[in-house]
A and B are shown apart, each in its own frame.
Chain A
Amino acid sequence: MSNYFLSHLKELEAEAIYVIREVIAQFERPAILFSGGKDSIVVTHLARKAFFPAKIPMPLIHIDTGHNFPETIAFRNNLVEELGVQLIVGSVQESINEGRAVEESGRNASRNALQTVTLLEAIESNKIDAALGGARRDEEKARAKERFFSHRDDYGQWDPKNQRPELWNLFNGKKSHGEHFRVFPISNWTEMDIWQYILTENIAIPSLYFAHNREVIYRDNTWLPVSEFITVREEETVIKKQIRFRTLGDITITGGIESDADTLDKIVMEVAASRHTERGNRADDKRSETSMEDRKKQGYF
């Protein structure tokens, strides 16, 4: 009988599929928050597995800051077509144009925090009652206490001190009108698990994750890609470097690392040997020690 066990990746996969199926069973209008990053790609892949041979029975929502890597958008469009699912795009630019969000100013201006406004609008206008996300508990200390089923009040806010206890695999998705849930099927995965899984399953990911040559500047201890959305300062010089991105976000805040990992195998090796966290290159997390926690309370991803 002792041969009946699953590898850690298969067990994590089974857990995530179970959670995704609970969402379709407990909610009326769920959706997948799709950023084009590896974690949301893995969640989408798991959703495909959860409902096979049927299509994924929910739309993907992309919150578009307008400051995108073109590669991410192309990847997103291809995937949506392949899956045959609906894509909902929430535009930060529109939120700004219509005065519901105010663009930051100053040297370190970014649209990262504005995504919360657009995300909550998209959830409300599409009457989404459960938004599946790719957040992992190993990413950041505020996320270490996140539930699989995370309740949001009718302002979309998270109350970390008043979370529902979550026991065994019994998930409570009960809510009042206007409230919604964020659901995190890959809560228990680490960065290493994600990469090993992408490798084992041979999941397509944007080319940005692989080492490539790109024009960058060195800012805040990271290699920031040069794009039309950032202003190169006088003291900075643009150089061409071989880099890759460990996480993907808004092009203005996502720094790359020097790397020659141009295959999945090499990426897994590099992650295994790395002594730095993957969010270390994200300017949004560096604003203060509790910046993730503060953003999450307001309704961020």
Chain B
Amino acid sequence: MSGSHAGFILAAYGATALILAAMIGASLLGWRSARRRLAALEAGRGPAGPRAPDLRAP
């Protein structure tokens, strides 16, 4: 494999790996974040979930 062509092959596969990693990473992070937010909301712990009862004495 000639040196200059090896550089082009490496660049092509490197760019592809980076873009695929970005696609996979963004999808996984998005899913993890959404799942956590949904779990928190359904458990009533979310920012706009049902309010916790006020346990302080009146």
Q: Tell whether A and B belong to one assembly.
A: no
